[in-house]
Amino acid sequence: MINLAKRVFLQTLNDKRSLAMILFAPLLILTFIYLLLGNNDYVPTVGIDKGALPAPIVAQLDKQKLNVVELSTDEAANAKQYLKDHRDVDVVFGISQASGASMTLYEPSSKGTKAMNEIQQAIAASNPSAKVNIAFVFGQEGQSTFDSLGYVFLSLFSFFLVFIISGMSLVRERSGGTLERLLMTPVKRGEVILGYTLGYGVFAIIQAILIVLYTVFVLGLSSEGFIGWILLTMVLLAVTAVSFGAMISVFASSELQVVQLIPLTIVPQVFFSGLVPLDTIPYHLGNLCYVMPIYYGAAAIKGVMIYGNGFTHIWPYLLGLVGYSLILYALNTQALKKFRKL
């Protein structure tokens, strides 16, 4: 028993990937969670028409952790349109004799929640019994987490499952000698990568259709825009996942090592898929989203499902997925030189 334990210990000690997954991956993930979900110094912005608000409330708002932007009477009256045109404002707050106090937010989010809490504290300081009506440009109060974050799950499943299957399959073919025998033929490296991508791309299309139809028509996830754009985005995201899996498989000699690389390659992307607003992440780490393919897919799907956007709004994200796929294709083609030089 002691000898067996010693052998397992030494094998693990010599496996750098296992050591990284056991010792360092949890630290990396916990650091991301701390930065994303812990206290941040984000100060929400509220737009108000000072002339239409009682002076005591204006004074209390100035004392809160808020950036106060003064609006004209017309801008405050058309709060929803103002928020569409000024995405840097989190809440428009106003008081009228007809409807009382009201807050209008762009969409349900942690930024909006923080702004609402600060405003409610200001109101409570002058009138504790006051009631506030809440409205959203997109979404509604009290909607389920699945309704508000469904687009995140669509992008994650589309990417993660295809990545796992493609990455493990390519490692299996390499370890079984299939890839080496294929590279002994006149087939070019680029054709090998393209063949694998097209082969798994068929299943990616089927998967995208099944996931979208099931979530929309069976689970009741609503979409403000055309479902076809969601399907297109998920297909591009899945194709990118195939290329990403092929790239990761180059650095893995077994299926277990593909799994070991997940905490370093997939888990960080989850945090930049839309779970939290990127501009609330400290140290400008939100800009890391631009090097993560899941971000482009999630942003495009959110634009269609939540905002009702069409191709004219989501094409930059689709172009990002296409560009990512082309870059990975080129890298994978070069990586095959490890097994054959043409």
Last residue of a domain, one of 88, 110, 136: 136
Co-location of 208 and 125 in the same domain: no
| Distance in Å from the first CA to the final CA of the chain | 50
Sign of CA dihedral 9, 11, 13, 17: negative
- Domain-located, residue 33: no
Co-location of 154 and 281 in the same domain: yes
Co-location of 165 and 106 in the same domain: no
pLDDT at residue 166, rounded to an integer: 78
Q: Is 47 helix (H, G, I), strand (E, B) or coil?
A: strand
pLDDT at residue 66, rounded to an integer: 85
Length of the chain: 342
Say what percent of the chain tops pLDDT 90. Answer: 8
Find all residues with CB under 8 Å of 116, minimum gap 6, and list them: 91, 103, 105, 134
Last residue of a domain, one of 118, 136, 154: 136
Co-location of 190 and 122 in the same domain: no
Co-location of 207 and 328 in the same domain: yes
pLDDT tens digits, residue range 89-117? Answer: 888 888 877 667 888 888 887 787 888 88
Find all residues with CB under 8 Å of 229, minimum gap 6, and list them: 300, 304, 309, 310, 311, 314
- Domain-located, residue 22: no
Burial class of residue 269, CB neighbours in 10 A (0-12, 13-18, 19+): buried
pLDDT at residue 341, rounded to an integer: 47
pLDDT tens digits, residue range 10-62? Answer: 666 676 666 666 666 667 667 766 766 665 677 888 888 888 888 888 888 88
Measured from the Cβ of residue 18, the count of other Cβ atoms closer than 10 Å reads: 15
- Phi then psi dihedrals of residue 48, to 5 deg: -140, 155
pLDDT at residue 106, rounded to an integer: 87
DSSP 162-197: HHHHHHHHHHHHHHTTHHHHHHTSS--HHHHHHHHH
How many domains is the chain partitioned into structurally?
2
Residues of the chain below pLDDT 50: 4, 341-342
Co-location of 291 and 328 in the same domain: yes
Is the full-model pTM beyond 0.75? Answer: yes
Compute the distance between CA of residue 46 and CA of residue 66 in angstroms, rounded to an integer: 7
Query: For the chain, where are the E strands, in sequence order?
Result: 45-48, 67-70, 91-96, 100-105, 132-136
Co-location of 277 and 228 in the same domain: yes
Mean pLDDT score across all residues of the chain: 79
Co-location of 73 and 152 in the same domain: no
Range of the domain at 77: 45-136
Co-location of 241 and 102 in the same domain: no
Co-location of 313 and 201 in the same domain: yes
pLDDT at residue 342, rounded to an integer: 44
Co-location of 190 and 332 in the same domain: yes
Co-location of 237 and 307 in the same domain: yes
pLDDT at residue 288, rounded to an integer: 84
Compute the distance between CA of residue 300 and CA of residue 238 in angstroms, rounded to an integer: 14
- Domain-located, residue 195: yes
Last residue of a domain, one of 74, 105, 136: 136
